[in-house]
């Protein structure tokens, strides 16, 4: 079965409670199950809990503040770095404050080691804070813990639905390509690549159907990781280094601004010369998996959200902004006018 067919199958299985094992085949699943334990022992662990980036950013900038909830796994938490300014949350919040010229209040709910099934608990804590946007990074631990893709996608779909029903904009960084991780050896490397890419395609379809938007992380946030793993991975060779998290924030920031309706005026419409445009959902999901940094969002054609091949999707390759240094969060009282 091809990637497009697998994406359709997994999205359907998530919606109707089906399985999903057959997309890889029982023999490949058996290889993954036996060898994943050895790979996890090889990867090891970074020392200490990640710094907490929760707090205020953009001192001196005007309000009302943009409220951001950051959910997911260790990549969202910033596992492996020692300074809060180096975490994904601090880099994203600092970039949002600069690009939007607004104060930003970030609350981090991400947990090291989290799987998609843990999103419900994170949402229970996040929703009462009434965020404007929720940014979710999830999926890698589902692959390394051999969670069936249909179950992973179902949990993510439920999270997106709950957020959208609460009026929260949703941006999901889909599962990275774990076939690029150095300690994972063949044949597990090939299995991990197949599994993670098909999970990413299915995540994309589920998120878009639920009213969110996605950014593909592909080969661990772009070709830089494959080209320079020693620079962009941390000491355990699995979690990103400070430079890796900076690359992650650069990928997510333009789409976070777009999700908030704060993107640049000259990027309001797709640009065909950049490979942007409108297409059917499955075609767009497969293309996004193969091109890291691709943003997808639902759209309309002739006033209709769906065509004969499903949901219409706008595919974008948003320009990355100049690098913004992360700042440490400030402590200050939330104005009553900002809720």
What amino acid positions are annotated as catalytic residues? 74, 236, 239
Question: By the 8 A CB rule, do 20 and 148 touch?
Answer: yes
- Across the chain, the runs of DSSP E, i.e. the strands, are 55-57, 66-72, 104-108, 133-137, 169-173, 213-215, 277-280, 295-298, 306-307, 310-316
Largest separation between any pair of C-alpha atoms in the chain: 58
- 319 DSSP assignment: P
Assess contact for 101 and 62: CB atoms under 8 A: yes
d(CA 78, CA 70) in angstroms, rounded, equals 11
Contact in structure between 2 and 290 (CB atoms under 8 Å): no
Q: Which of 149, 296, 269 minimizes the C-alpha distance to 208?
A: 296
Report d(CA 238, CA 80) in Å as an integer: 10
Distances (CA, A) of 83 to 43, 96, 245, 307, 329: 22, 19, 12, 48, 11
Q: Where are the beta strands (DSSP E) in 14-165?
A: 55-57, 66-72, 104-108, 133-137
Burial of 320 (0-12, 13-18, 19+ CB in 10 A): middle
3-state DSSP assignment of residue 107: strand
Exposure of 126 in the CB half-sphere (CA atoms within 13 A): 34
């Amino acid at each position: 079965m091809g990637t497009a067919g697998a994406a359709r199958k997994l999205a359907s299985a998530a919606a109707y409670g089906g399985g999903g094992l057959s997309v890889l085949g029982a023999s490949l699943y058996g290889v993954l199950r036996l060898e994943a334990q050895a790979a996890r022992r090889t990867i090891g662990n970074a020392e200490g809990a990640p710094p907490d980036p929760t707090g205020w950013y953009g001192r001196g900038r005007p309000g009302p503040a943009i409220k951001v909830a950051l959910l997911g796994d260790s990549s969202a938490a910033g596992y492996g770095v020692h300074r809060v300014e180096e975490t994904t949350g601090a880099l994203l919040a600092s970039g949002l404050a600069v690009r939007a010229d607004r104060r930003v209040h970030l609350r981090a709910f991400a947990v090291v080691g989290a799987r998609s099934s843990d999103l419900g608990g994170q949402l229970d804590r996040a929703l009462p804070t009434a965020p404007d946007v929720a940014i979710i990074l999830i999926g890698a631990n589902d692959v390394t813990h051999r969670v069936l893709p249909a179950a992973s996608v179902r949990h993510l779909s439920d999270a997106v639905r709950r957020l959208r029903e609460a009026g929260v904009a949703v941006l999901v960084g889909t599962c990275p390509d774990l076939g690029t991780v150095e300690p994972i050896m063949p044949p597990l490397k090939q299995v991990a690549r197949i599994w993670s890419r098909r999970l990413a395609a299915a995540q994309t379809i589920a998120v878009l159907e639920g009213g969110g938007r996605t950014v593909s992380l592909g080969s661990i946030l772009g070709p830089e990781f494959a080209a320079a793993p020693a620079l962009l991975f941390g000491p355990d060779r699995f979690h990103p280094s400070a430079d890796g998290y900076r690359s992650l924030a650069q990928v997510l920031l333009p789409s976070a601004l777009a999700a908030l309706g704060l993107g640049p005026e000259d990027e309001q419409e797709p640009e065909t010369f950049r490979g942007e445009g409108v297409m059917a959902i499955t075609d767009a999901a497969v293309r996004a998996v193969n091109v890291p940094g691709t943003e997808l969002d639902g759209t309309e054609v002739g006033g209709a959200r769906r065509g004969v091949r499903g949901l219409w999707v706008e595919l974008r390759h948003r320009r990355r902004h100049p690098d913004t240094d992360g700042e440490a969060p400030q402590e200050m009282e939330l104005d009553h006018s900002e809720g």
